[in-house]
Amino acid sequence: MSRNTFEDVMCYTHFANNQKPKVEDCFWKVGLLFNHMNMAAEKCVEKSEYVSVDESMVKGKPTRFGFNVWVLATSNGETIRCDPYGGAKTKLFTYGLSQGPDVVYGLVEDAKLVPGTKVACDNLFTSLDLLDNMSKKGIGVVGTMRQNRLCTLFIPSMQQAKKMKRGKKEELYVSEDQVVVMWKNSAPVYMASNFADVFISIEEKMEVDQPNIIKVYNTHMGGVDLLDNMVSCYAITARNRKWYWALHNWFLNVSFVPAWRLYRKVGMVMGIKDNEKMPLLSFIRSCVEMTIMLHGESNTSHIHTLPALSPSTLADFRRDSGNHIVIKTPERKNVCKHCKSRPSTGVADAICQETPRTLEAWN
């Protein structure tokens, strides 16, 4: 594909009808992409006992730091549900639990998680109201707690906890199944859960005793971070002036990860060793090749390789600012053979303009 053709494809790529904008939803241009991803995840991603909720950052304009996407993912980094967030104009359902807990409750509702599932989230999302509502649905929650959400509980404050010895803990049972724990490590840590206990988890590698609730959180919280790590390994970096192009690239990058894991899982079940060991980069290349075969033109007669150019033709566009013609030679670098000057490219030998344009000169 030529550069102009590629730019035309990017220019005319849209995911919604621009003649019928939805002013109330700031992400209406890419709503179809997120709906498609969520439907595909509902069909293909295997439900897990432990899931995590966190935000994923999409770099791009018009915002200075990019867009936020609320992601519900499994512990091994497979996306279950995702919703974009762009501030107050974002069209999200509210459940009266404040912004962070509303995100968790909405993702759990939309993903239709079965009772018995455990959700791990950080202090942006965790609150006692969320624990109450999740207990009614039979969903477990474990997460860190912010200090301002513990003001009415009789538990050591941050200032008091700093004076305590490392490894000490204080727990407070808010109800039969809800517990708030303060654990002093290098710094005080506040945790809340409606399913994890506070019994000490004894491990030889740990210098201090660690409550079980901390171990459960550390084990199952990193699902979204693992997804971001996999996405960043081979991310698509093609840019466009359209604000939603960054979200389109993120959509493609995220789609490859669960597809790759599913491909390897099928290979393990069917005993296909090539599928089991295929790395992510090879899988992405195979997907691109298969897409070209399925949706490209069947007649490949128009595809041809670039013919070998003559030295006189190459000289027209291989000159630098000093009229040197840069070529690769196994001899010493960065010095013109004839005029003994250094070409501005500084990466290979060069032949100056006065050199005869003959095949012998190029050889």
Cα end-to-end distance, the chain, whole Å: 32
pLDDT at 51: 94
Domain-embedded: residue 219: yes
Domain-embedded: residue 347: yes
User: Looking at per-residue confidence, does 181 or 271 come out higher?
Assistant: 181
Check if the beta carbon of residue 320 is closer than 8 Å to that of residue 352. no
**Confidence label for 27 from pLDDT (cuts 50, 70 and 90):** confident
Domain-embedded: residue 164: no
* Same domain, yes or no: 348 and 212: no
Q: Assign 108 to helix, strand or coil.
A: helix
Could you give the count of Cα atoms lying within 13 Å of 209 in the half-sphere of its Cβ? 10
For residues 69 and 92, give the distance between their C-alpha atoms in angstroms, rounded to a whole number: 12
Domain-embedded: residue 306: no
**Confidence label for 323 from pLDDT (cuts 50, 70 and 90):** low
Length of the chain: 363
**Confidence label for 356 from pLDDT (cuts 50, 70 and 90):** very low
**Confidence label for 23 from pLDDT (cuts 50, 70 and 90):** confident
DSSP assignment of 301-319 equals TT--PPPPPPHHHHHHHSB
Least confident piece of the model among 18-27, 157-166, 243-252, 330-339:
330-339
Range with the largest mean pLDDT of 191-200, 237-246, 250-259, 307-316: 250-259
The total number of structural domains in the chain stands at: 2
pLDDT at 217: 92
pTM: 0.74
* Same domain, yes or no: 32 and 125: yes
* Same domain, yes or no: 213 and 344: no
- Domain stop point among 231, 256, 288: 231
* Same domain, yes or no: 335 and 201: no
The answer on pLDDT for 13 being more than 60 is yes
pLDDT at 305: 44
pLDDT at 95: 77
Q: What is the DSSP secondary structure assignment for residue 361, as one 8-state letter?
A: H
Tokens of 329: 């030679």
Please choose, from the candidates 308, 340, 339, 343, the residue with its C-alpha nearest in 3D space to the C-alpha of residue 327: 343
CB atoms within 10 A of CB 66: 16
What is the rounded average pLDDT of the residues 256-271? 81
User: Distance of CA 106 to CAs 22, 25, 69, 242, Å?
Assistant: 21, 17, 13, 29
The answer on pLDDT for 347 being more than 50 is no
pLDDT at 324: 55
List of residues 6+ apart from 255 with CB closer than 8 A: 37, 40
pLDDT at 212: 86
Domain-embedded: residue 61: yes
* Same domain, yes or no: 128 and 21: yes
Residue matched to tokens 């303060």: 182
**Residue 26's domain spans which residues?**
3-146+196-231
CA 267 to chain centre: 25
* Same domain, yes or no: 223 and 87: yes
Tokens of 227: 């997804």
List of residues 6+ apart from 34 with CB closer than 8 A: 27, 82, 83, 84, 251
**Confidence label for 34 from pLDDT (cuts 50, 70 and 90):** very high
Tell me the percentage of the chain whose pLDDT exceeds 90.
21
Least confident piece of the model among 216-220, 260-264, 327-331:
327-331
* Same domain, yes or no: 60 and 205: yes
Please choose, from the candidates 98, 344, 323, 75, the residue with its C-alpha nearest in 3D space to the C-alpha of residue 223: 75
* Same domain, yes or no: 58 and 204: yes
Residue matched to tokens 């477990």: 140
**Confidence label for 164 from pLDDT (cuts 50, 70 and 90):** confident
DSSP assignment of 155-168 equals S--HHHHHTSPTT-
* Same domain, yes or no: 130 and 42: yes
Least confident piece of the model among 10-14, 64-68, 146-150:
64-68
pLDDT at 320: 46
- Domain stop point among 211, 231, 251: 231
- Domain stop point among 181, 211, 231: 231
* Same domain, yes or no: 320 and 226: no
Quick: pLDDT tens for 58-74.
876 655 667 889 999 99
Domain-embedded: residue 84: yes
pLDDT at 186: 84
Please choose, from the candidates 296, 266, 264, the residue with its C-alpha nearest in 3D space to the C-alpha of residue 278: 264
Domain-embedded: residue 202: yes
Residue matched to tokens 């621009």: 18
Check if the beta carbon of residue 176 is closer than 8 Å to that of residue 191. no
What is the rounded average pLDDT of the residues 95-109? 87
* Same domain, yes or no: 216 and 104: yes
Domain-embedded: residue 251: no
Q: Which CATH number goes with the domain that contains 46?
A: 3.30.420
For residues 330 and 311, give the distance between their C-alpha atoms in angstroms, rounded to a whole number: 19
Across all residues in the chain, what is the average pLDDT? 78
* Same domain, yes or no: 205 and 63: yes
Q: C-alpha angle with apex 346: 341 to 348, nearest 5 degrees?
A: 90
